[in-house]
Amino acid sequence: MRKLLIGVLLAVGAGCGGGGGGSGPSGPATGTISGEAFTPTNVSAVIVGPPLSPCTEPTTFTPKAVALRFANVDMCTDLTSDPLCKFTASETTVTVAMADIEGTAGPTLAPGTFQVTPDPSNPSNVEVHLSGPLAGTATVAFAISTVTGAGAQCLPDLKTAAAQGSLTIDSMDTTAGGHVTGSLDLTLGTFSGGNFTAGQGTFKGTFDAILCSEDVSFDLCQLAAGAGTCGGTPTCN
């Protein structure tokens, strides 16, 4: 997440005026990503954190997050190892993450509607919850999209976009093989100099994501410090 926590990837990712406006999303999530029509064939989710020790960048906080990835390939392996460094040729993903960065209460995850921001490092984009299941905590949500090239060296043609809009989580079963359901409404674009510019597509609709059963091994603090980008060497499978 740009300096505060996971977009992807996802999102991504999958994933970053908001996408809102008019009636709410209806029907499975679909859209146009970097000029290409996109209907995901795989929707996965992971629950990450809290880490064993508090994160220290950009400030001290203890996060817990749910990450959703919408893709045209099976994404559970990538989500649970290094979601921002592993790519596949001809892959389109939207990665969306909602992180609870605690507050007066410890970090938790619960259903709700969250603003998706292209700048999660800006304190004004952190949502403070005074009541309900998230009372005493603060959350931030972001999303990114990625489109890779078709060749074996797919990274030179990598296209990425930030996102702005909304994420609604209706239900969340955090047991292995459980489901995370809800809807999202995203406008994709570029983010530079504190400004978001639309023009990279839209992604909206409902989702029913299956929680990956694999162990989540990536470092949430490292992901936060990496500003939503790969902290190592990107690979293309």
pLDDT tens-place string over residues 175-186: 878 899 999 999
Give the pLDDT of residue 7.
31
Please tell me the distance from the alpha carbon of residue 130 to that of residue 159, in angstroms, as a whole number: 38
pLDDT at 12: 29
pLDDT at 214: 58
How far, in Å, CA of 137 to CA of 130, rounded?
A: 8
Cβ neighbours of residue 139 closer than 8 Å, sequence gap 6 or more:
98, 99, 100, 101, 112, 114, 126, 127, 129
Res 2: pLDDT: 35
**Residue 160: per-residue pLDDT:** 83
* Domain edges within the chain: 30-223
pTM of the model: 0.79
pLDDT at 21: 34
pLDDT for the residue 196: 93
**Cα–Cα distance, 139 to 58 (Å, whole number):** 15
* pLDDT value of position 16: 26
Residues of the chain with pLDDT under 50: 1-24, 80, 226-227
